[in-house]
Structure 1
Amino acid sequence: MPILTVFYIKLFINLGLTLGIFWVISRSELFAKWQLEKEKAVFAAGFVLLRLIPWIGIFLIINEDPRGDIPFFFYKAEAAKAGGFVYRDFWSYHAPLYAYIISIPVWIWHNSRAIVLFMVLMESAILWLTYKTYKVKSSRALQYAMIYLMLPAGFMYILVDGQEEVWFWGAALLIWRYTINHKDNYEIGAGLLFALTLLTIKVTFIFLLPAILVVVKKPVKMLLVMAAVGIPAVGFLYWQIGDLFLMPIQHTEQLMTPNLFSVSRPFIELFIHINEKKSTMINWIGLLFTVFLPAYMAFKARHRHISEILPGIFIAVFVCMMIFQASAMGAYLIAYLMAVLFDVIDIRKTWHVIVLLAVNWLTVVQPFVWVYIHQPSYTSFGMFGNLSNLFEYILQIMNVLCFVWILRKTYQNVVNPDKLAVA
């Protein structure tokens, strides 16, 4: 199917999903009642209608091939299934255990479509656990869960493209739930879960660590637990494959969009030319802001228990990554979209709903437009004489403004308890 046809179909589906969201928002009392009486049935119905049936339609009936990163994931899963050793026998930019985890569905059905279904099941499990966590303080939790299933970004990037970034929130959710259930002496469990996450998903999760260490009561204790897990794992990898285990760190990504650098580049280029092949320093500068701002937020809220602010700290880390990292792209929204919906968005406020829908639509539309017009880097204002470039640049600006709004609201929720988004 031609790529442009696929895009038009996505727009049509997005429109249907958006109309569905408006319907769900208008039925607060009904969903509050269902939350008390039939939560499992409603959640299961949402999963079947908005995840399972579409997956069957796309990959079994229409027989579309998985897109995005799935072909590369399948390559890794096949190699892991065949007994290959990660980094030595096959390429991987994920944590060492990731390839072996995504090989599980391939053992059952040797097809890349199995990985997409696995991603959908993982997402749904994380959503259910998120709902169970928030339902104790919100009568709208089930309503938010149904809204999430209709959000265009999650629908497209997880159901269609099989992205795994939502696993980051799943890991943070497990740590958060542990701190809720263990108000004291939680550092051992939190450190163990954090270390296992670094071995399972991506090293990017380490960005969350500085902010957590600021707010935990015994940071050294948590670090020692992480070291007890991490050092033997690193030692084993070095024993087996030398420094090849550094592959995820050594991977230098190209400059992507949308982020603060991509939208400010026409101004930057007035003073200094950026060599895209030697842009490491730009990412290092972005990394400083990505780590510093959430850590500052944690410091401002250090008088509060970690269980009160961990979701906000998590959101801040990954939204800062998308704002300040020059290699960040729109798909990373999936990492914190679920957390933003439950922890930041108030569907009773029109502007909240507008931003939520805008960032979802932009995340679907902007990357396609950027690729379709051959991924321009706006090194001069003269490039905006091309209306396609100008249109895509405006989409980038709107995207970044949405990220900034999310960061601002998250800051208020973390630093000022009176601003907590609890319905």
Structure 2
Amino acid sequence: MSIVFAKLGISLFALVLVGVLLFSKKRLTPWLETKDTNGFLLVSWVMLRLIPFIIIYLIADFEPTSDVNGFWDEGSKASMGQIVYRDFWSPYSPLYAYFLGLWLKFWYSPKMIVLTMAAMDGVALWASWHFFRSFQSKGDFLFKSLLYLLLPGSLVLCIIGAQEDVWMWLFVILAYLLRERTVRVEWYAVVLAIGLLMTKAIFVLILVPLFILEKQKIRFLIPMVIVGILSLAILYPLVGWEFTQPLDEAQTLRAPNIPSILNPWFYNEIGVGQKFWNWIGLAASVGLACLAALRLRNSDFRIMLSRVWVVLYATMMIVQQSAYSNYIFLFLIPLVFYIIDWKSYTQVILLLIFNVLCVVHPSLWWRLGMPCYMTPSDASASSQLLVDYVMQVSIVGLTGYFIWLAYPKKKEAA
């Protein structure tokens, strides 16, 4: 349980710093208006990503654990020229392991995986400045960037957990920024296709509402089909149907999600683990995202994407039985920079609680043996199991609250 208490301690310390920042906002924001954006983001990244990395992995010589071991297995074998899906198993898209493998050419160590994640997080934050700059002053964005870098949902999951989920947000906004610069829907589609090949299968979900709103549907679709055909033409002769390995992730039972918290109250009669739950989760998350996108069809793309992204992936986090709370890292940037009203004490306090719960729960759940509660008495069989179940219910409830915040109301859509 040491890692659980370590994550809790780091999270609480980070929240103290967030509190100091929020208390100093009125004085700090005007000062940030005078700073160079690129320089300040770089210094902030060094202070809140690189230095923690150096302290934890170089000075304290802490060895990466958890998901990093899986990433290391993939990246190290890819760096040696082995074939993904054939020579090693991967739950990720085909280019993911090879991208990690390129970084390992500079430093052949699992610690390089963590540094890679930190670097990509910094790139995603920098790209977000160009994405949000039309809606926020420089001082306001830089202030929120400090909050983002300090929040446990990004700090701990990036430096301790080495999660890659923020990459998906990076690729979708890079696609938009390229389209904005070139006015070419084809390049927009190509970058989205590359994003799908570089990250996870769930990246494809955002393509559905984007396709629905796209006016140049044929020009949007053709480049993706071409990239898809070329990918299959390369993969199938090498690995056969093994390229479907990422789809196996949908069969992995995790928590917290709606099925996991409802199951004990129905005495294990709701079919947890069955495939129909995956289809229900898929329909609920994509369907709600499409409805949100249609409501915002006349809004600026950046407004639409920020809200739809949170609605889609936050919903997926609690309806898909293979999802777990690490997915907060997937939608934290648009949540922090656009959805949350930082003047609302309620929203801020709930966001801070949400961050701590999402960071601590996966480690606790894993070390308790990944419990699946069959009856109400199972959840109260011990104090640790009760804490786990209460955390699950809290995470699901808070996720629902943030989905409600992000979902466009009629007045906002108008």
Establish whether TM, by shorter chain, passes 0.5. Answer: yes
Q: Which residue of structure 1 lines up, in the alignment, with residue 107 of structure 2?
A: 109
Q: Aligned partner of 1:313: which letter? A: V
Q: Deviations over 1:260-314 (max 9, x none)?
A: 11111123337x25364xx222112111111111011112222335344112212
Check the 8 A contact 1:211/1:294 in 2, yes or no: yes
Q: Deviations over 1:92-119 (max 9, x none)?
A: 1111111110012210111110111011
Runs of 4+ in 1 over 4 A off after TM superposition: 179-182
Check the 8 A contact 1:215/1:306 in 2, yes or no: no
Q: Aligned partner of 1:163: which letter? A: Q
| 1:7 and 2:4 are equivalent in the alignment | yes
| 1:219-368 paired onto structure 2 within 5 Å | 219-269=217-267, 272=269, 274=271, 276=273, 279-368=274-363
Q: Deviations over 1:8-27 (max 9, x none)?
A: 23222212211111111122
Distance verdict in 2 for CA 1:275–1:305, change over 3 Å: closer
Aligned length: 410
Query: Displacement of 1:390 after TM fit?
Result: 2.3
Q: Percent identity?
A: 27
Check the 8 A contact 2:340/2:348 in 1, yes or no: yes
Structure 2, unaligned runs of 5 or more: none
Q: Deviations over 1:310-336 (max 9, x none)?
A: 122122111111121011101111111
TM-score, normalised via structure 2 length: 0.93
Q: Which residue of structure 1 lines up, in the alignment, with residue 400 of structure 2?
A: 404
| 1:375 and 2:370 are equivalent in the alignment | yes
Query: What CA RMSD, in Å, does the superposition of the two structures yield over aligned residues?
Result: 2.0
Q: Aligned partner of 1:20: which letter? A: L
In structure 1, which of residues 386, 390, 408 is the aligned counterpart of residue 386 of structure 2? Answer: 390
Q: Aligned partner of 2:335: which letter? A: V
Distance verdict in 2 for CA 1:41–1:209, change over 3 Å: closer
The alignment partner of 1:347 has SS state of coil
| 1:126 and 2:124 are equivalent in the alignment | yes
| 1:203 and 2:201 are equivalent in the alignment | yes
Check the 8 A contact 2:4/2:364 in 1, yes or no: no
Check the 8 A contact 2:7/2:360 in 1, yes or no: no
Q: Which residue of structure 1 lines up, in the alignment, with residue 23 of structure 2?
A: 26
Q: C-alpha distance in 1, partners of 2:162/2:379?
A: 34
| 1:36 and 2:34 are equivalent in the alignment | yes
Q: Deviations over 1:335-385 (max 9, x none)?
A: 111121011012111011112101101012222332233222121112233
The alignment partner of 1:399 has SS state of helix
Q: Aligned partner of 1:374: which letter? A: G
Worse overlay, 47-56 or 376-385: 376-385
Q: Which residue of structure 1 lines up, in the alignment, with residue 94 of structure 2?
A: 96
The alignment partner of 1:136 has SS state of coil
Structure 1, unaligned runs of 5 or more: none
Q: C-alpha distance in 1, partners of 2:78/2:339?
A: 39
Q: Which residue of structure 2 lines up, in the alignment, with residue 177 of structure 1?
A: 177
Distance verdict in 2 for CA 1:61–1:273, change over 3 Å: same
Query: Displacement of 1:134 after TM fit?
Result: 2.1
Distance verdict in 2 for CA 1:17–1:289, change over 3 Å: same
| 1:209-220 paired onto structure 2 within 5 Å | 209-220=207-218
Q: Deviations over 1:19-57 (max 9, x none)?
A: 111111122242332233343443233222211111111
Query: Displacement of 1:222 after TM fit?
Result: 1.1
Q: Which residue of structure 2 lines up, in the alignment, with residue 145 of structure 1?
A: 145
Check the 8 A contact 1:153/1:361 in 2, yes or no: yes
Check the 8 A contact 2:256/2:395 in 1, yes or no: yes
Query: Displacement of 1:226 after TM fit?
Result: 0.7
The alignment partner of 2:177 has SS state of helix
In structure 1, which of residues 67, 70, 73 is the aligned counterpart of residue 71 of structure 2? Answer: 73
Q: C-alpha distance in 2, partners of 1:372/1:241?
A: 35
Q: C-alpha distance in 2, partners of 1:58/1:321?
A: 32
Q: C-alpha distance in 1, partners of 2:83/2:167?
A: 23
TM-score, normalised via structure 1 length: 0.91
Check the 8 A contact 1:32/1:143 in 2, yes or no: no
Q: C-alpha distance in 2, partners of 1:80/1:64?
A: 25
Query: Displacement of 1:233 after TM fit?
Result: 1.4
The alignment partner of 1:214 has SS state of helix
Distance verdict in 2 for CA 1:261–1:273, change over 3 Å: closer
The alignment partner of 1:371 has SS state of helix
